[in-house]
Structure 1
Amino acid sequence: MEAILIDAFEFCRLGEALEGEFAVAELPRLAAEAFTPAGVIRWSLTGGKHAQGYPQLTLNVSGSVQLMCQRCLTPFEFGVESNSILVLAQDEAGADELEEALDDDSLEVIAGSLQFNVANLIEDEALLALPVSPRHDVCPGKTAEKPEAQVEKAASPFSVLKDWKR
């Protein structure tokens, strides 16, 4: 993976923007989670200021990753879509304090640096967008069950018990 280094604070102060794409195969941690290293992750990063004046990055990550369905054990394409607002603090301790002070669940506070690796941030964001237990909405070869059928299945063991008591 090619490192993309920026001075995060200067990037935000100047309101700069970057965009690009990585093949999933170029992101080793993401490729390790994928069934195959096929797919592309597109990204854009914009610097700016939070309403309270703190440096802020806006990161958008999208693309697709091949995952293994945990239900039927066949691969499928999972669409990655993530939009994050990252407020920068000077260090980890400052990030914890700032996160507590801002008390806003719609943003994340991270430690910025003069040698900030954007590629690592993109890979982290793509990894966070993956499901814990990936699976199809409806596995191939199966039909979606109707909610009524599920209710009947749940009730059927109890009807057997009712007859057993007699």
Structure 2
Amino acid sequence: MLNTPSRNSLPRRIDPRKFAQQGIIITGLVELALLPRVCSALCSDEGEIQASLEFGLNEQRLLCLCGQITASLQQQCQRCLAPAPLSLSCELQLVMVWDEETAINIPKIYDPWVVGEGQTDIYQVLEDELLLSLPIVSYHEEECVPKEYFSSKDKCVDKVVSHRQQGNPFQVLEQLKGALLTPNLTSRDEK
């Protein structure tokens, strides 16, 4: 296999079929800001994606892309709404196919990757894999919201309950009713 020298940045446009036939391995970094679909699901577009991609032929002589992507991202915590660190690591095993019909016949351990002739934007593949790896709900590992906000013994809740009891409109009516009945009873007794 032919290895390309480790470079800082991963090339954006490649010919994946040629790379697979030559057994090329590429490793590099991609700025997160260059992946707009991923950035739209995050708090920040700062950071980098580390990717190691191996192009080659599998046992059935299918053109494959196998690799690993790692990233340290910031996603919004659904408890406190502040940025929460998120470490992602995902592996990909793709088989290059010409069309959707060919994709049906590939082994189940691989995902199909529809690739035409010529150059392809490899960043789109990285974006797809990262989007599939993002958690549905993100939150801090440690407790970011104090438990008293979720407790029924919260002082704020107690104040609201005591205020409701003090200002009960039926209590006021009861007092008025009692005040009206008391003078009437005394006036009847005087007659």
Match for residue 46 of structure 1 among 34, 42, 54: 54
Task: For 1:51 and 1:115, locate their aligned partners in 2 and report how far apart those are by CA, in whole Å.
Answer: 25
Say yes or no: does 1:10 pair with 2:38. Answer: no
Structure 1 partner of 2:105: 98
Structure 2 partner of 1:84: 92
Deviation for aligned residue 1:142: 4.6
In structure 1, what residue type is equivalent to 2:126?
I
Alignment length, in residue pairs? 137
Segments ≥4 residues shifted beyond 3 Å: none
Task: For 2:125 and 2:55, locate their aligned partners in 1 and report how far apart those are by CA, in whole Å.
Answer: 14
Task: For 1:51 and 1:138, locate their aligned partners in 2 and report how far apart those are by CA, in whole Å.
Answer: 45
Q: 1:9-63: CA deviations, max 9, x gaps?
A: 1111110121211221221111111111122111121111122111110121101
The answer (yes or no) to whether the contact 1:72–1:139 under 8 Å persists in 2 is no
The answer (yes or no) to whether the contact 1:7–1:116 under 8 Å persists in 2 is yes
Task: For 1:139 and 1:72, locate their aligned partners in 2 and report how far apart those are by CA, in whole Å.
Answer: 10
Structure 2 partner of 1:119: 123
In structure 2, what residue type is equivalent to 1:118?
I
Task: For 1:67 and 1:73, locate their aligned partners in 2 and report how far apart those are by CA, in whole Å.
Answer: 9
SS class of match (1:33): coil
SS class of match (1:51): coil
The answer (yes or no) to whether the contact 1:39–1:66 under 8 Å persists in 2 is no
Which protein, 1 or 2, shows the higher relative CO under an 8 Å CA cutoff with sep ≥ 6?
1
The answer (yes or no) to whether the contact 1:65–1:79 under 8 Å persists in 2 is yes
SS class of match (1:65): strand
Q: Name which one, 1 or 2, has greater alpha-carbon Rg.
A: 2
Task: For 1:26 and 1:9, locate their aligned partners in 2 and report how far apart those are by CA, in whole Å.
Answer: 24
Structure 2 partner of 1:161: none
Say yes or no: does 1:32 pair with 2:36. Answer: no
Change (3 A) 1:8 1:48: same
| Structure 2 segments unaligned to the other structure (5+ residues) | 1-9, 148-191
Change (3 A) 1:39 1:139: farther
| Structure 1 segments unaligned to the other structure (5+ residues) | 144-166
The percentage of aligned residue pairs carrying the same residue is 28
In structure 1, what residue type is equivalent to 2:12?
I
SS class of match (1:66): strand
Structure 1 length as normaliser, TM-score?
0.74
Structure 2 length as normaliser, TM-score?
0.65
Q: 1:95-138: CA deviations, max 9, x gaps?
A: 1x223xx2x2x321221232221111112111111111112233
